[in-house]
Amino acid sequence: MNKTDFLLKLKLQKGIGYVKLLQIASQLDVEEVDSAAVQKLDLPFNLAAAAFKALNDEQADQTVARIKKQCQVISFFNQEYPDRLREIYQPPLILFARGNVSLLKSKIVTIVGARLASHYSQEVIDRLMPNLVASNLTIASGLAKGVDGFAHRACLKNNGQTIAVVGNGLNHYYPSQNHGLQDQIVDKGLIISEYLPDTPPRPFRFPQRNRILAGISDSVIVTEAKEKSGSLITANLALQENRNVYAVPGPITSPLSEGPNRLIEVGATPIVDFKLETENIF
């Protein structure tokens, strides 16, 4: 079987998390995986036994076939896997996708901010978006309430391309009020996740999702965000990965301006008008 199917079968096994999956994946130097290839892997006894079990698991074969009918499966080894994401610390080894996967190879600007954002974020995004879309940039965000939803909707309204990176499986709609938006993104853009399609949303999965948002992007824009928030996690990850980070300044009396103002203080580029020079963000 090909490496992607083998990795997916491994992911379906109980007791094989990211570290063990990486330990196996990093040694796969063949295109087709069979018993001989697994035999050559330098693995602890229990992990080697789990790899053989996955290889010969017929029930997992059925699950893999069902998943591939629901979405596209992209592994670290596939051509469709975004090059920028390969560079990050702990890149996802498997992505599940619905929509236009070619967008992963486009120029991507990620927009993040508070879930309980004010009209200020809405206005800034609405006025920035025409310039971003006209520059053939793909807009990524996390399909959460607030700024994420503002960014996706504004992009679609301007006939742009958008990517949603979610912290749950693709068979779930979260938050529920974004049900229609999620369907629109699948139809006109792309939605991706590192989680198996039936995986429910859980709070700890969203910070993990943020590294993918930072990883696929060329630049990150932060609007309103508290100083300790998921948006700042995304921005800091982007800085660590040498991405360009932009922040929308706000009044020092607003808790939602603490995050972007702090980013500007440590070197993020402030957005001071709506004519963002897009050629400078790459």
- 139-172: per-residue pLDDT in tens? 999 999 999 999 999 999 999 999 999 999 999 9
Average pLDDT for the chain: 93
Same domain, 263 and 133: yes
pLDDT at 202 over 80: yes
Same domain, 44 and 108: no
- Total-model pTM: 0.94
Same domain, 47 and 174: no
Nearest to 135 by CA among 108, 111, 112: 108
Of 70, 93, 114, which residue is a domain's last? 70
- Does 25 map to a domain? yes
Same domain, 35 and 158: no
Same domain, 46 and 110: no
Same domain, 53 and 111: no
Same domain, 155 and 233: yes
pLDDT at 280 over 70: no
pLDDT at 248 over 90: yes
Same domain, 140 and 264: yes
Same domain, 133 and 266: yes
pLDDT at position 84 = 94
Same domain, 124 and 258: yes
Nearest to 192 by CA among 25, 93, 74, 91: 74
What is the mean pLDDT of the segment spanning 27-31?
90
Q: Provide the pLDDT confidence category of residue 274 given band limits of 50, 70 and 90.
A: confident
Residue 164 and residue 143: Cα distance in Å, rounded? 6
pLDDT at 106 over 90: yes
- Does 81 map to a domain? no
Range of the domain at 46: 3-70
- Does 129 map to a domain? yes
pLDDT at position 282 = 58
Q: Provide the Cα torsion 115, 119, 123, 129; round to 10°.
A: 20
